[in-house]
A and B are shown apart, each in its own frame.
Chain A
Amino acid sequence: MSEAPAASATQPVTATDVAAAVQVTGVDKVFVGKKKATVTALENIDLTVAPGEFVSLIGPSGCGKSTLLRLIADLDTPSTGSVTVFGKTARQARIDQEYGIAFQQAGLLPWRTVTGNIELPLELHKVGSAARKARSAELLALVGLSDFAESYPDQLSGGMQQRVAIARALAESPRLLLMDEPFGALDEMTRERMQTELVKITAETGAAVVFVTHSIPEAVYLSNRVVVMSPRPGRIRDILTVSLGSAAERNEQLRENEAFFENVSKVRELLHGEAPVGVRGVETR
């Protein structure tokens, strides 16, 4: 039975046998505002994310990327359609703490130190204080903020705050990470370092990631698949499978790579709505 995990990793993932990390089926989201004005944020979204898979959502501002992430996180409910996470309803998955999340805003508690912020989920879930200390020290080292353990968020730059938020999302080693433009506030150099770190982390932990971004190179560098969305009402325009090798092979050299640039221009074409004729790896929908 020792080969079982390896076997399951290569099996095609369907909703019936091994539960997908995220399964979004026929989802619409309509916001009803004041005076019954409605905004259709999402329309007819179908998306499956396999366990351990890295999927990016990319699209123009206001196309519903954050909304889709919120539906998966059970912070909002779809108007129609269903969302399941590891085979459970989104609500049950949230209660069972199946995912970690990093928001578009860092959302740190200003009255807690960096350590206190990272330990918040552990504290709420009754993890002992010694284990908490060890875990937060480990995570601080990971995001390169060990020197700021006892600082308060107002003493950190925006990018440093975002790194704390990422560490917090990783605190309970979730099988699924939901990240909403987590690197948006970072400078280019830190951004690339964090991208490399994130690839490493997800490879080590085997976590699936749904990653919202505005940056095409970032999406290509990080992802197994890039989901390109159209402007409002948000629909999935296309899904591009990026074949740049396993996480272990995704290093700094990759950014200079021919195949990398090819994928970048494919995503760009898809984003701008031009028909990408004859490109490989595109799932036509």
Chain B
Amino acid sequence: MTATTVTAPAPGAGTASKQPAAGGAGAGRLRTILAPVLLGVVALLLWQLAVVVFDIKPFIVPAPLSIGGEFGTNIATVVAGAVVTGGNALVGLVIGGIVGIVFAILAALVRVVDELSVAIVAALAVIPIVALAPVLYTMFGAGAETARQLVAAIAVFIPVYINTLRGLRQVRPVHRDLLHVYAASAWQMTRTVTVPGALPFIFTGLRIASSLAVISALIAEYFGGPVGGLGKSITSAASSSNYNLAWAYVLGAILVGLVFYCVTLAIEMFATRHYRPTS
């Protein structure tokens, strides 16, 4: 993944327009939102139709309406579970994100750190992180959420680190020259040009990581630890043959993932709103 998703097409350089054309952008945005929503509605309708027409049993796949009904009646426990799982994911996202960014800055500044971390990051990227969960539960005690948060943090660290480091290496030559002209120190260069310039990349990393954080925190629950989260609720509902309820929790997990993704996307769009390439 690169930051291509955040760099809008080149603006009409040389036009004196103060503000981007709001009308066109608004219509475009509406269409990008409307299209997937319509597709989703159509898919749900077909799904419902298929379940009714072919008389599919709930343990294979329940109808969306029954899932929705179950979701509505159990909204309190779904929300409680979402708070637990989402909380773990958030802690993991914040810790993994900060560590990933700080490490990437160190690696960009100090060559030794970069060389040392290549091996560590490669190893971390290869390990299926959730496989660490059972080990971490014994380390931190099965009664604490720490193991899950740590799993999420490690999962977040990798994309954030890799994207940030790539962004830190994309300094525009004219900016490098400028800071050289000002006889700026390495730290001044990092603070005023390198890190701000890498923001689109950092946010791309965080956006990928946000979904990973939710998935990791959720799956880590399958391997033990306290009850109450969405992951544990899915397994216990499924094992007591309450398939509609299990799917209602799955729906909850999907919504948590969506919220994480959309919030990071919104922050990204705000923070990089002026980053269109200028002349």
Contacts and interface: CB of A to CB of B under 8 A. Distances in A.
Interface stretch (B139-147, B177-185, B261-269): B177-185
B172 A111 contact: no
A252 B276 CA distance: 38
Contacts of B13: 157-158
A157 B172 CA distance: 20
B274 A97 contact: no
Most buried by B among A120, A123, A185: A120
B193 interface: yes
Interface stretch (A24-32, A147-155, A215-223): A147-155
Given A101-B181, A154-B11, A161-B278, 10 more contacts: A94-B183, A103-B178, A109-B193, A111-B199, A120-B178, A124-B182, A124-B192, A153-B278, A155-B19, A157-B16
A75 B177 CA distance: 7
Contacts of B181: 73, 75, 94, 101
Interface in B76-133: none
Interface string A47-83: 0000000000000000000000000010100000000
Given A73-B181, A124-B184, A124-B188, A185 B275 contact: no
B279 A185 contact: yes
B175 interface: yes
A110 B19 CA distance: 15
Interface in B1-47: 11, 13-16, 18-19
A120 to B, nearest CB: 7
Nearest to B172: A107
A185 B278 CA distance: 13
A277 B199 CA distance: 59
Contact of A154 (B174, B184, B276): B276
A159 interface: yes
A103 B183 CA distance: 16
B58 interface: no
- List the 8 shortest-distance A-B pairs measured between CB atoms, nearest first: A107-B174, A152-B274, A157-B16, A158-B14, A158-B279, A111-B196, A153-B278, A154-B276
A157 B18 CA distance: 8
Contacts of B184: 124
15 contacts: A73-B181, A95-B183, A103-B177, A105-B174, A107-B175, A109-B193, A111-B199, A124-B179, A124-B188, A125-B182, A152-B274, A155-B274, A158-B279, A161-B278, A161-B279
Contact of A110 (B188, B192, B275): B275
Chain B interface mostly? loop
A18 B181 CA distance: 24
Interface residues of B, number: 30
Contacts, number: 76
A121 interface: yes
A108 interface: yes
A106 B199 CA distance: 21
A75 to B, nearest CB: 5
Contacts of A75: 177, 180-181
Interface in B42-64: none
Contact of B276 (A110, A161, A185): A110
A153 B274 contact: yes
Given A110-B274, A152-B274, A185 B183 contact: no
A227 B14 CA distance: 30
Nearest to B18: A155
Contacts of A154: 11, 274-276, 278
A106 B278 contact: yes
B177 A120 contact: no
Nearest to A186: B14
Given A111-B274, A157-B14, A158-B13, A106 B192 contact: no
A159 B174 contact: no
B197 to A, nearest CB: 8
Contacts of B16: 157, 160
Contacts of B277: 110
B174 A111 contact: no
B145 to A, nearest CB: 37
Contacts of B197: 109, 111
Most buried by A among B15, B18, B178, B184: B178
Contacts of A159: 14
Contacts of B278: 106, 108, 110, 153-154, 161
Contacts of B14: 157-159, 185
B100 to A, nearest CB: 21
B6 to A, nearest CB: 12
Contacts of B19: 155
